[in-house]
Amino acid sequence: MAVILKVEKDKMLQTNKNTLKWHESGYRSIIEAIKDPVYVCSPEQRILYMNPAMEAHLGRNATGEICYQAFYGEKKRCTHCVFDQVIQGQAVEYELNDPVSRKHFIVLNTPIVNIDNSISKLTVLRDITLFKELQTQNAQSQRMETLGTLAGGIAHDFNNILTIINGNTAMLMRSGANPGTEIHEQLLEIERAGKRAADLVRQLLTFSRKQTVYPQILNLDHALEEIQTMLMRLICEGIEVKMISCPDGPPMVEIDPGQIEQVMMNLAVNAMHAMPQGGALTFKTARVELDMRYFESHDVEAKIGSYICLLVSDTGVGMDKETSKRIFEPFFTTKDVGQGTGLGLSSVYGIMKQNNGFIWVYSEPGLGTTFKLYFPESKNKASLITKPVMLQDTCLEGSETILLVEDDAPIRNLCLKMLREFGYNVLEASSGKVALEILQENFQRVDLMITDVIMSGMGGEELVLKVREFYPHIKILYISGHIDNVIRHCDLFKKREVFLEKPFTPQELAKKIRELL
Q: CA–CA separation, 139 vs 119, rounded Å? A: 42
Q: What pLDDT was estimated at residue 192?
A: 80
Q: CA–CA separation, 1 vs 181, rounded Å? A: 132
Is the per-residue pLDDT at 382 higher than 50?
A: yes
Cβ-proximal residues to 359 (8 Å cutoff; 6+ apart), any chain: 328, 348, 349, 352, 371, 372, 373, 374
Cross-strand pairs, 376: 307
DSSP string, 155-190: HHHHHHHHHHHHHHHHHHHHTT--TTSHHHHHHHHH
- Provide the CA 9 distance to its chain's centre, in angstroms: 75
Q: What pLDDT was estimated at residue 394?
A: 54
Q: So what's the architecture of 132-207 in CATH?
A: Orthogonal Bundle (1.10)
pLDDT tens digits for 270-315?
888 888 888 889 999 999 888 877 776 666 666 788 899 999 999 9
**What CATH number labels 216-376?**
3.30.565.10
Shortest CA distance to 315 belongs to which of 284, 281, 276, 283? 281
- Provide the CA 257 distance to its chain's centre, in angstroms: 19
DSSP string, 419-482: HHHTT-EEEEESSHHHHHHHHHHHTTTEEEEEEESS-SSS-HHHHHHHHHHH-TTSEEEEEES-
Q: What pLDDT was estimated at residue 388?
A: 46
Are 164 and 414 within 8 A, CB to CB?
A: yes
Q: CA–CA separation, 63 vs 42, rounded Å? A: 11
pLDDT tens digits for 11-50?
455 444 444 444 455 567 777 778 889 998 888 888 888 8
- The one-letter code for the residue type at 404 is L
Between residues 51 and 8, which one has the greater pLDDT? 51
The helix (H) or strand (E) run that includes residue 361 is strand 358-363
pLDDT tens digits for 447-479?
999 998 878 888 888 898 899 888 989 999 988
Q: What pLDDT was estimated at residue 401?
A: 92
Are 239 and 382 within 8 A, CB to CB?
A: no
Shortest CA distance to 405 belongs to which of 421, 385, 395, 419? 419
Are 98 and 129 within 8 A, CB to CB?
A: no
pLDDT tens digits for 193-241?
877 777 666 666 655 445 555 678 889 988 888 877 777 766 767 788 8
Q: CA–CA separation, 378 vs 374, rounded Å? A: 12
Are 190 and 331 within 8 A, CB to CB?
A: no
Domain 34-127 has CATH 3.30.450.20: yes
| Residues 371, 376, 382, 385, CA torsion sign | negative
- Residues 506-510: contacts with CB within 8 Å, 24+ apart? 506/167, 506/170, 506/171, 506/174, 506/418, 506/421, 506/422, 507/170, 507/393, 507/396, 509/415, 509/418, 509/419, 510/396, 510/397, 510/418, 510/422
Is the per-residue pLDDT at 482 higher than 80?
A: no
Q: Where are the domains of the chain?
A: 1-29, 34-127, 132-207, 216-376, 393-516
Topology of domain 393-516 in CATH is Rossmann fold (3.40.50)
Q: Cα–Cα distances in Å, from 176 out to 71, 170, 171, 362, 468?
A: 82, 11, 9, 55, 40
Is the per-residue pLDDT at 389 higher than 90?
A: no
> What's the pTM value of the predicted model, to 2 decimals?
0.48
Are 120 and 39 within 8 A, CB to CB?
A: no
